[in-house]
Amino acid sequence: MMEAIVTQKLRRQFRKTVAVKDISFSIKQGDIFGLIGPDGAGKTTTLRMLAGVLKPTSGQAHVLGEDVVRNPEALRDKVGYMPQHFSLYGDLSVLENLQFFAEIYSTPRAKRADRIARLLRFAQLEQFADRPAAKLSGGMKKKLGLACALIHNPRLLLLDEPTNGVDPVSRREFWDILSELHLQGVTILITTPYMDEAERCNQVGLMFRGELIEQGEPEALRQLAPGEMLALYTPELARTEAILPELPGYIAHQVYGDRLHIFVADAAATKPRLTAFLQARGIPVQALYVDEPRLEEAFIHLIRQARTETQP
Amino acid sequence: MISQILNIAWKEFLQIRRDRFLIIFLILAPTLQLILISHNTARGLSDIAVAALDQDQTALSHEFIQELDATQEMVVRFWPQTHQQLRDLLDSDKVQVGIVIPAGFERRFNSPMEAPAQIQALVDGSNILVGGNGDPVISGVLGRLIAWHVQEPPGLDVGGVQVYSRALFNPSYNIQWFIIPSTLAFITYQVALVLAATGFVREKETGTLEQLMITPIRRLELIIGKSIPPILLSVLNFLLLMAVQTWGYHIPIRGDFIQLLLLAILAIIAIVGLGTVISILTQNQQQAVLLVFLIAILEVTISGYMLPVENMPWLMRGFAQISALQHFMTASLAIIFRGADFSMILPQILALLAIIFSASVIAWRAFNRYIA
């Protein structure tokens, strides 16, 4: 059994809105799979169906070999699920939350104390064991949520935007924990709005308007950016944007703060031409260099493409 | 199964213990409500201000006024000289009852050859408590006067019939005896309903319910586990209120206390079942509390708390049959005042069991739907 998750034409409709549109994909055991996409793309709905808390309208999904529609109960012991919003008991302490979930998963009493201690250490929450969960910082809450989702040693973790709204340091710590779990062979399906997190996954899927429009290794997806990329810093962004399409070899561009990412057929050849092109029009160039497209550029391109395709 | 249920129940207790506001609500609010309602309803019936216009000025008329003044319910405050003065006292609300003893009262009272003696009582009908209870007091005083003064007239056979009514089960016709046990049932009902109605919906709001749904816990375990704390707390609340009623207001329980307690537990389970249904069907605590409020208004009308079920139109009587409060109130009053035992309140017990069963089925099914 190599596939942790397999879906076939999985679909979910809420009245007339199709949240997830017949998606078929699979995730290998031991992968960290990052599901990314803009808000409302259907990531959470997909995750909830895979967790067995939401019935699909049609289609099939097998998680760890179990049919999520016919036999969601069989998943309970094997899957750890962390919903998007912090869903532990704020008025219970860190320790009480862990004890409650340990009891729910019928952790043998002999092993319970040991496992809770290990998870507290793992989540770096040892000195906060008696603090009410509601009084934890955002990052600590997420780590407690993860610890609770891990209490039964699940083979698959479903994490719905676990680092949303968490400071960069806590995010890094959270990912260190995930990396360790990954090394232990736990399969992880995580949704995230952060591209740097997507880069840390070994498989990435891009969802848009309920469809999985691309799936692959981050390296491969990066190549989907159109052509090669030039990074340009100039104080006159608006004027530059307006005249760029006149540039020979121009494909597309994206704005990032004070810089422009310009996609062209041949970056090395275009670079001197672009300098001349801008200077001829009186636009100062502060910096201009050939750069590797990141996942972000690839995704923005893919989403733009999908948008123009769906518009009549 | 059992350990899962206890785990859920334990978690609920931990949460309730941390909720200071809830604890205050549970102890203070019900006791306060019982005491305030009982006290105020009792006060409304004592020391009603009376004005007596005595146009007879005889020993008997004086005696009548003294007797009236001696009752707990009435105090004679004014002695107007004219009808107009009496009228003014009533109009200005200085008195709620006006008594007119016409001239010839004593003469007519003692003479079988004249038309019967009359007393005119003017009562403030806008105050239903004064209106309804002023009359029996005056009649009672008159009855006593008659009993003292009228010997059997020689040679006249009036049959020696002495008519007097006695209030069964409540010998002194004390309104507190009716108000307190009914109010107690109503408060028990409110507390149990609110506690249960906020249970699931709170977890829905925090998202913990979704978290629980992906654990191996079964829905039935969750429903039972979450119902235990509201049931236990409501029973404690009932015992607390019973203590206030028994030792604070000296209302005896004629029936068996254990049977009363069992009845209360049964009723509380039924009410918590209803609350759980509300909690599962609503989306947030605000909706749940508003729904509880709405249902409480309905139940207070159909339960017999405000007017007897027998006096309701048939549709309302039908609704009363599905009201747990109505059955609880009827049966608990029967045990407390009439000394009824289980065999006499069997219909109410069966009705409560039916309500528990229906609520469980609805709760379970509604819960399933949420997941789907």
Whether chain B has a CB inside 8 Å of the CB on A92: the answer is yes
| Chain B residues touching A86 at Cβ < 8 A | 207
Whether chain B has a CB inside 8 Å of the CB on A91: the answer is yes
Q: Where residue A157 falls among pLDDT bands split at 50, 70, 90?
A: very high
The verdict on a CB contact (< 8 Å) between A89 and B206 is yes
pLDDT of residue B164: 47
Q: How far is CA A22 from CA A61, A285, B104, B347, B371, in A?
A: 11, 47, 101, 56, 21
Q: Measure CA A236 to chain center.
A: 34
Whether chain B has a CB inside 8 Å of the CB on A174: the answer is no
pLDDT of residue B108: 82
Nearest-CB residue to A100 (from B3, B11, B214):
B11
DSSP string covering A258-301: TEEEEEES-HHHHHHHHHHHHHHTT---SEEEEE---HHHHHHH
Alpha helix (H) ranges present in A155-262?
168-183, 195-199, 218-222, 237-243
How far is the C-alpha of A96 from the C-alpha of B362, rounded, in Å? Answer: 32
Whether chain B has a CB inside 8 Å of the CB on A292: the answer is no
Confirm whether the ipTM is greater than 0.90: no
The mean of the pLDDT values for chain A is 88
Nearest-CB residue to A79 (from B211, B214, B371):
B214
Q: How far is CA B321 from CA A218, B65, B351, in A?
A: 66, 48, 8
pLDDT of residue A156: 94
The verdict on a CB contact (< 8 Å) between A89 and B210 is no
Q: Where residue A1 falls among pLDDT bands split at 50, 70, 90?
A: low
pLDDT of residue B371: 56
Return the amino acid letter for B181.
P
How far is the C-alpha of B284 from the C-alpha of B222, rounded, in Å? Answer: 18
Radius of gyration of chain B (CA): 28
The verdict on a CB contact (< 8 Å) between B207 and A85 is yes
How far is the C-alpha of A45 from the C-alpha of A160, rounded, in Å? Answer: 10
Q: Measure CA A186 to chain center.
A: 17
The verdict on a CB contact (< 8 Å) between B18 and A91 is yes
pLDDT of residue A69: 86
pLDDT of residue B174: 64
pLDDT at A77 over 50: yes
Backbone angles phi, psi at A167, to 5 degrees: -65, 160
User: Residue A13: helix, strand or coil by DSSP?
Assistant: strand
| Contact in structure between B104 and B56 (CB atoms under 8 Å) | yes
Q: Which of A243, A244, A221 is nearest to A292 (CA)?
A: A221
Q: Give the single-character DSSP code of A131.
A: S
Predicted confidence (pLDDT) per residue in A219-260, tens digit = 888 888 888 888 999 888 888 888 888 888 888 888 888 888
How far is the C-alpha of B372 from the C-alpha of B370, rounded, in Å? Answer: 6
Backbone angles phi, psi at A70, to 5 degrees: -80, -30
| Chain B residues touching A156 at Cβ < 8 A | none
How far is the C-alpha of B197 from the C-alpha of B278, rounded, in Å? Answer: 6
pLDDT of residue A43: 92
When scoring A13, A53, A77, A152 by the number of chain B Cβ atoms within 10 A, the one with the most, hence best to mutate, is: A53
The verdict on a CB contact (< 8 Å) between B15 and A53 is no
Percent helix, percent strand, percent coil in chain A, to nearest 5: 40, 30, 30
Mean pLDDT of A288-295: 86
Q: How far is CA B234 from CA A253, B33, B89, B197, B348, in A?
A: 67, 15, 49, 13, 20
Per-residue pLDDT of chain B (372 residues; tens, 9 = 90+): 888 899 889 998 888 888 888 888 888 888 888 888 777 765 556 778 889 999 989 988 898 888 888 887 788 999 999 989 988 888 888 888 888 888 888 888 777 777 777 788 887 777 666 666 677 777 777 777 777 776 554 444 443 344 444 555 665 556 677 788 888 999 999 999 999 998 889 888 888 888 888 888 888 899 999 999 999 999 999 999 999 888 888 888 888 999 999 999 999 999 999 999 999 999 899 999 999 999 988 888 888 877 777 778 888 888 888 899 999 999 999 999 888 888 889 999 999 999 999 999 999 888 875 554
Tokens of B135: 């009359």
Predicted confidence (pLDDT) per residue in A40-68, tens digit = 889 999 998 998 888 899 999 999 988 98
pLDDT of residue B359: 94
pLDDT of residue B320: 86
| A121-143 core/surface letters (b: 16 or more CB in 10 A; e: else) | ebbbbeebeeebbeebeebbbbb
Q: Are strands A66-67 and A58-63 parallel, antiparallel or unpaired?
A: antiparallel
User: How far is B20 from chain A, CA to nearest CA, in Å?
Assistant: 12
